[in-house]
Amino acid sequence: DTGVSQDPRHKITKRGQNVTFRCDPISEHNRLYWYRQTLGQGPEFLTYFQNEAQLEKSRLLSDRFSAERPKGSFSTLEIQRTEQGDSAMYLCASSPDSVATNEKLFFGSGTQLSVL
């Protein structure tokens, strides 16, 4: 399978717990994005990696959120001390080139987080 893979597909957690999501982009894609999507809304940008460097973070990404892409391949998104407002679909996307413009994004199926 050469698509973007996200794990887990679903996560149910209790308020206050920490959760970690994983994204495996398409091999050799340099750019990696995390988005968050709530019901009835479009995806909202969270953060962007170019290879292993995290180049941009949204104001939506509070101190409880941290993302890494240690070797420029897979990425993890951790949420500490989860709150009910964190309940959402977390989407990962990748695109091929660090330099080119006009690239489309390839999305994974997302991780649906429910905080009880």
Partner 1 sequence: SQQGEEDPQALSIQEGENATMNCSYKTSINNLQWYRQNSGRGLVHLILIRSNEREKHSGRLRVTLDTSKKSSSLLITASRAADTASYFCATDEGNSGGYQKVTFGIGTKLQVIP
Cβ proximity to partner 1, 18 vs 98, nearer residue: 98
The Cα 62–Cα 70 span in angstroms is 20
Cβ proximity to partner 1, 14 vs 59, nearer residue: 59
Q: Minimal distance in Å, beta carbon 16 to partner 1?
A: 26
Q: Minimal distance in Å, beta carbon 10 to partner 1?
A: 10
Cβ proximity to partner 1, 20 vs 44, nearer residue: 44
3-state secondary structure of 102: coil
The Cα 116–Cα 72 span in angstroms is 33
β-pairing verdict for 10-13 and 65-68? unpaired
3-state secondary structure of 16: coil
Which residues make up the interface to partner 1 (CB under 8 A)?
4, 6, 31, 33, 35, 40-45, 48, 50, 55-56, 89, 91, 93, 95, 101-110, 112
